[in-house]
């Protein structure tokens, strides 16, 4: 559980500051290292990630910078040049939302990004309908995040002379769980 001590958000059991754990995750520390640095359990790390995602605003205009996005027949390969710490934590949170547990952060990031690509590619199809309202769509986990990511992906594809509507035709949106998603080697900064 998260509480407050002297106006600082902390993990109640140990008094560990939430933002200390968030900073370690955001700068790329692995799960094992975080557990060495702080007296925290998996459940408490999940609570910290949830707390951060629910209480901290983010800049939807700077989520990530793509180095490469390749759409093939039911396969998406992505290489990131940069990712904001806020977006990174939200990708981990998406993994937790689906699997209800922690795993290797790289695996969590990959699965979170896959989920986001699935939502955004479906969103790209729905935005053609002028009556569509993103805020009332139950498949959209976070309308602000997903809309921002959609814009970044669309701009990247335009800069590389591609159209999101054409690229999405290579992917089975109805059975997106079977789409192969590969996070290529990244040397991005957070």
Query: Domain residue spans in the chain?
Result: 2-55, 64-183
Beta strands at 75-83 and 16-17: parallel, antiparallel or unpaired? unpaired
Residues of the chain above pLDDT 70, percent: 95
Could you tell me how far CA 146 lies from the centroid of its own chain? 9
3-state secondary structure of 38: coil
> Which whole-number Å values give the CA distances from 28 to 53, 71, 78, 81, 90, in the listed order?
17, 27, 18, 14, 14
pLDDT of residue 123: 86
pLDDT exceeds 70 at position 117: yes
pLDDT band at 144 (very low <50, low <70, confident <90, very high): confident
Calculate the average pLDDT of the chain: 89
- pLDDT at residue 8 greater than cutoff 90: yes
Tell me the pLDDT band of 127, cut-offs 50, 70 and 90: confident
Whether the predicted model's global pTM rises above the 0.75 cut = yes
Please check whether residue 78 is in contact with residue 68, taking contact to mean a CB–CB distance below 8 angstroms: yes
Region 137-142: mean pLDDT is 76
Q: Which two tokens stand for residue 160?
A: 């590389």
Residues present in the chain in total:
190
| Higher per-residue confidence, 28 vs 62 | 28
């Amino acid at each position: 559980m998260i509480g407050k001590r002297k106006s600082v958000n902390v993990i109640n059991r140990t008094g560990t500051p939430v933002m200390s754990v968030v900073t370690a995750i955001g700068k790329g520390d692995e799960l094992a290292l975080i557990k060495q640095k702080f007296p925290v359990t998996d459940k408490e790390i999940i609570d910290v990630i949830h707390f951060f995602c629910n209480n901290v605003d983010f800049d939807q205009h700077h989520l990530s910078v793509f180095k490469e996005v390749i759409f093939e027949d039911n396969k998406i390969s992505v290489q990131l040049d940069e990712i904001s710490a806020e977006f990174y934590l939200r990708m981990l949170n998406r993994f937790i939302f689906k699997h209800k547990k922690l795993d290797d952060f790289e695996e969590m990031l990959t699965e979170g990004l896959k989920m986001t690509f699935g939502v955004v590619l479906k969103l790209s199809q729905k935005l053609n309908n002028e009556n569509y309202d993103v805020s009332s769509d139950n498949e959209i986990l976070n309308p602000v995040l997903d809309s921002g990511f959609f814009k970044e992906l669309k701009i990247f594809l335009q800069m590389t002379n591609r159209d999101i509507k054409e690229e999405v035709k290579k992917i089975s949106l109805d059975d997106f769980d079977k789409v192969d998603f590969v996070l290529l080697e990244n040397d991005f900064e957070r």
